[in-house]
Every structure is written in structure tokens, then in C-alpha cells.
Amino acid sequence: MPVIRLLQTGLVFTCIFILATSCSQTENTTSDQNLVYSVHIAPIIHAKCSPCHRPGSSAPINLLTFEDVTSRLKTIQLVINSGIMPPWPADPEYVSFKGEKALTHNEKSLINNWIEAGAPEGNPKLSPPLPVFHDNSFLGKPDMVLQIPNPVFIKGDNQDKFYMLKIPFEFPQDTFIKAIEIVPGNKKLVHHVNAHIVQYDRGEKADHTKGLPYVDTEKHDKQKAYELLDLPNDDGTYPLLSPSVSNFLPGVEPVLYPEGIGGIKVTKQGVLLLDNMHYGPSPVDTSDQSSFNIFFSPSAPKRPLKEMILGTSGITRIDPPLIIPPDTVMSFTTEYRVPSDMSIVTINPHMHLLGKSFHAYAMTPSGDTIRLIRIPEWDFKWQYFYTYKKIQKIPARSVIKVHGVFDNTSANPNNPFDPPRTVTERAGSMRTTDEMFQLIISWMPYQNGDENISLE
Ligand code: HEC
């Protein structure tokens, strides 16, 4: 089906164009005749395709072996040359991130040239071993597993679902958590998860297990959802919500920061809040009961991460205000002046269905540009948390500038309205048909030498 969608959007022309140019490139020294699967292609497929295209993952086909790959060469060529696969909206030439799935120019031309040369296997003995993936944990044996208490019903109406869920927990005592890893239950449908921790200090809430287990965020705004889940303290005030503690997209491995960075202190009673649980469309009624591996830490986090939100619901104003009239393509900006040196580890650009492109960088006081991220073609479905390969220092008095372009014309195939209508941000709304323009930054106050710390 994706291939049909591809053909309909006319991207084949782009493919032919890219193919023609890539064939004329001579970046690689191996001549086309000598390109073989076992030596040149298998390592690329294993690193860039197999993490998603394997049994027990959400992708429709497996891409692990020579046979898997050669049984669909034309389709593979089509999806890689159009840039649809691997899904990685950030421009890898602007900034290259940890765990990047995008193919380099050289990798693309190797695959194309190998296919054009008849896709020979070469000596299978020279092929690297099949990569090992873990269905239950990439990080080892968890100290504790929290599971969604009751299966979440997913109606078979072929619609995406966006839920907010709560998983109440009770630890033996106040503790420190170093990592939380999601283990999707329904591997075909769990698309995107983002988790926070809600903490109750002693006595603020008599029973933190009450309330609805989950709420549809297309129907209720954030505040209403919090009330339905019964998150507020007994006196109606709000408990502490941690920064993002875990996030998931198919093919993404959990991030464990180097020793001493990240981690969180938690009170013994609380709730793991899945504020954004996105299930893909299902043709039949089904359910999900995902679980979460918890890894404790023996000591308090030395350098816990802070979270800063620019734009919608954040600390900076959007200019002009985020109102997008029908039949327009509009640009918006938001800026933040950095008061003291900061060390950025992960960023998460966020827009909804009208998003078209996203660009963020910092201008230092001496006039240098620090690249943060560029997404030439926004893709609502693939909203990664992008982690830098090395900590990114932003000097004091730099200005972080964020530009977003939104397409509210009927030429945007994702436009939720036909004909287009005015779309705006709405305080507290997480509905996909309202817009958002955010850059979420996970950071720490800068310490000497941070810029040399590798996050890989
Ligand atoms: C991050 C996960 C991910 C990675 C990495 C990835 N894919 Fe995919 N792929 C998917 C998903 C999910 C689909 C189903 C279509 C969709 O949801 O967009 C898909 C669909 C496809 C299809 C169409 C399958 C069909 O229905 O016939 C092909 C071909 C494909 N991918 C090839 C590749 C190749 C080649 C690579 C590596 C160069 C790759 N993919 C990397 C997730 C991934």
C-alpha cells in the first residue's frame, strides 16, 4: 500500500532524477561490477533497515537476509530514492544525530549501483552475522516492570488513536531512576509514546490509583484529561510533573546517557503518565497492554536534565501568533536568548498535520551559527527525539531561533480539513486538528569540557 501511495504522489519522477545523478557519482571506489551483497550491502541493511524491518516490529516486511532484500529490489529502490525510507525527517547533512537511520549519499549510490549491476550475493561467508535485536529489553535486565494495568481497547475503525494513560506505581521507598524503556505490547500498532512521571509527596493524595485508566486526547484538552485521570492532589492543586522520561518510535532504541547525566529522583508513590500514546489505525477491534522496564540508580542523579519548551505552551512567544488562515503557507518564528552557557543533549521539534518544514539554530554573541536541526519536509508520523552525538554547548547570550512553515492549502495531503479552514493553537489542546509549534530542549547547565562528551 505505501508503494501505491508513492506512485500516486508522483514521487517516481524524483527517483528517476536521483537515480540518474547518483549513477554519475564516483564517491565510492568499488566499481559497480565488484559490489556484492555480503560485503557492501548487508552492513547498510542491517544498520539502517533491519531495526524496524524484523519480526516483532511494526514494519510490514522483514529486511534481514539476502533473500528478503532481493525479493523486492524495485520497491526498495523506489522508497530509498524518494527519501520515504528509512523514515528520518532531519537533514543528516545539516546535523548528524545519534542512532541516525538516514542513508548517506554514498550508501544510497552503493545500493542503487549494486541493484543496477544485477544484485549479486557474493560469498555469503563474508556477510556480517545477522544483527541481534531484543524484544523485551535493549538495556539488560530491568529492576522492575510496570505494565498498563488493563488492556487498552483499540477500535477497528482504521483511525489513528491518541490517548493519555496512567500507570499508578508504588515503590518500596523514594528512589532514583536512571532509565525507563518501553516494551510495546501490540507491536503492530504502538507507534509513538512519550512518558512523564507524576509524583505525590506524602499525604497529598489518598488514592493515586483512582480515575479513568485512559482518555482520548482528540476529545478532551489536557486539563480535562488530567481531571478524568484523577491526577490532581486531593486539594485540587497539581503535583510535580517530571520532564520527559521515555519516548518511543518504531526502530528507536532507548537512550542511556553517560554515567552522571540524566536520571530522576522519584517519590515512592506516583503515576507513570503516558501523555501521548499514539496507536496506528487497525481494521479490526484489538487491544494493547504495553509495559515499561524500570532501571533504578543507586545514587541521586548528579546532573539531572532540565526541559525547556519554546513556542506553544512554552517560555517564548510565537511571532506572528499561530493563526493559519485557509489557503495559505505561512512562516512563524520563536526566539530565546540564552542567559547562561547551556549543554543540550536532545531536542524534539513538534508540529501537527499542517507542518511543512522546521529549522532551528543558535546565533552566538560573536555571530557564529550553531546548527541545531533542519527538517526540510515535516512528517507528522515520525517525530523523533533527536540526541546529539556530542553534547551541544550554547554559549550565554546566544539567541536560539526557530522557524516553522505551515501549509494550510488543499495541496497538503495531510490537511485534516477539506476545504481548508483557519487552524490555530488552542491552550491545552493536544488535538491533531489544532496546531502546535514547539521545540522541546533537554539540557543541563554547562560544565567545563561538556562539548567533548560523546553521547553515543
Ligand atoms: C524507523 C523504522 C523504519 C526503518 C529504519 C526503515 N523502515 Fe521501511 N517501513 C517502516 C514502516 C513502519 C513501514 C510501513 C509504511 C509506513 O508506515 O510508512 C515501512 C515500509 C517499507 C516498505 C514498503 C513495504 C510494503 O508495504 O511493501 C519498504 C520497501 C521499506 N520500508 C524499505 C525500507 C528500507 C530499504 C529501509 C532501509 C534503507 C527501511 N525501510 C528502513 C519502518 C522503517
Angle (CA) 83-87-90 rounded to 5° is 85
51 lines ligand 1 (CB under 6 A): yes
Distance (angstroms) between ligand 1 centre and the Cα of 59 equals: 6
Q: DSSP assignment of 101-146, as one string?
A: -PPPHHHHHHHHHHHHTT-----GGGSPPPPP--SS-SSSS-SEEE
Distance (angstroms) between ligand 1 centre and the Cα of 142 equals: 30
β-strand partners of 385: none
Average model confidence (pLDDT) across the chain? 90
Distance (angstroms) between ligand 1 centre and the Cα of 15 equals: 16
Q: Is it the case that residue 350 has pLDDT exceeding 70?
A: yes
* pLDDT tens digits, one per residue of 152-192: 999 999 999 999 999 999 998 899 999 999 999 998 999 99
Range 254-259 contact pairs with CB under 8 angstroms and sequence separation of 24 or more = 254/138, 254/139, 254/179, 254/180, 254/181, 254/182, 255/98, 255/99, 255/346, 255/385, 255/387, 255/455, 256/139, 256/178, 256/179, 257/305, 257/345, 257/455, 258/453, 258/454, 258/455
User: Cell 503515576, residue?
Assistant: 271
**Single-letter amino acid code for the residue at 408:** N
Q: Which atom of ligand 1 is nearest to the CA of 103?
A: 38
Q: Which of 258-262, 285-289, 365-369, 398-402 has the lowest mean pLDDT?
A: 258-262
* pLDDT tens digits, one per residue of 63-97: 999 999 999 999 999 999 999 999 999 999 999 99
**Alpha-carbon span 375 to 351, nearest angstrom:** 11
The residue whose C-alpha atom lies closest to atom 43 belonging to ligand 1 is 52
Query: What are the sequence ranges of the domains in the chain?
Result: 2-126, 144-297, 306-452
Q: Is it the case that residue 17 has pLDDT exceeding 70?
A: no
Q: Which of 49-58, 206-215, 332-341, 359-368 has the lowest mean pLDDT?
A: 49-58
Distance (angstroms) between ligand 1 centre and the Cα of 83 equals: 11
The residue whose C-alpha atom lies closest to atom 14 belonging to ligand 1 is 59
**Alpha-carbon span 171 to 146, nearest angstrom:** 11
Asked whether the bond before 301 is cis by omega within 30 degrees of 0, the reply is no
Same fold, 144-297 and 306-452: yes
Distance (angstroms) between ligand 1 centre and the Cα of 322 equals: 33
DSSP 8-state symbol, 32: G
Residue 198 and residue 240 in contact, taking contact as beta carbons nearer than 8 Å? yes
**Alpha-carbon span 41 to 368, nearest angstrom:** 39
* pLDDT tens digits, one per residue of 25-42: 334 445 666 999 999 999
Residue 289 and residue 274 in contact, taking contact as beta carbons nearer than 8 Å? no
**In the prediction, which pLDDT does 15 show?**
34
**What is the three-class DSSP state of 386?**
strand
What average pLDDT score do residues 262-282 get?
93
Q: Which of 173, 165, 220 is nearest to 198 (CA)?
A: 165
Q: Are strands 437-445 and 386-394 parallel, antiparallel or unpaired?
A: unpaired
Residue 362 and residue 402 in contact, taking contact as beta carbons nearer than 8 Å? no
Per CATH, the number for 144-297 is 2.60.120
How many angstroms separate the first and last alpha carbons of the chain?
35
**Alpha-carbon span 453 to 288, nearest angstrom:** 38
Q: Which strands sit side by side in the sheet containing 355-363, from one edge to the other?
A: 329-337, 399-407, 355-363, 369-375
Q: Which atom of ligand 1 is nearest to the CA of 382?
A: 1
Mutation pick for ligand 1 pocket among 53, 64, 104 (CB with most ligand atoms within 8 Å): 53
Q: Is it the case that residue 456 has pLDDT exceeding 70?
A: yes
**In the prediction, which pLDDT does 252 show?**
84
Q: Is it the case that residue 43 has pLDDT exceeding 60?
A: yes
Q: Is it the case that residue 278 has pLDDT exceeding 90?
A: yes
Cell of 231: 491526577
β-strand partners of 332: 404
Residue 387 and residue 348 in contact, taking contact as beta carbons nearer than 8 Å? no
52 lines ligand 1 (CB under 6 A): yes
Q: Is it the case that residue 253 has pLDDT exceeding 90?
A: no
**In the prediction, which pLDDT does 23 show?**
36
Distance (angstroms) between ligand 1 centre and the Cα of 310 equals: 32
**Alpha-carbon span 91 to 360, nearest angstrom:** 12
The fold of 306-452 is Jelly Rolls (2.60.120)
The residue whose C-alpha atom lies closest to atom 23 belonging to ligand 1 is 2
What average pLDDT score do residues 84-113 get?
95
Mutation pick for ligand 1 pocket among 50, 52, 101, 187 (CB with most ligand atoms within 8 Å): 52
pLDDT confidence bin for 255, thresholds 50/70/90: confident
Q: Which atom of ligand 1 is nearest to the CA of 69?
A: 35
In 148-208, DSSP assigns E strands to: 152-154, 161-170, 175-183, 190-200
**Alpha-carbon span 391 to 305, nearest angstrom:** 12
pLDDT > 70: percent of the chain: 93
Please give the torsion angle defined by the CA atoms of residues 223, 414, 182 and 80, in that order, rounded to the nearest 10 degrees. Answer: -160
Distances (CA, A) of 431 to 34, 61, 68, 222, 383: 52, 31, 39, 10, 16
Cell of 68: 528478503
Cell of 327: 489557503
127: left (phi over 0), alpha (psi -120 to 50) or beta: beta
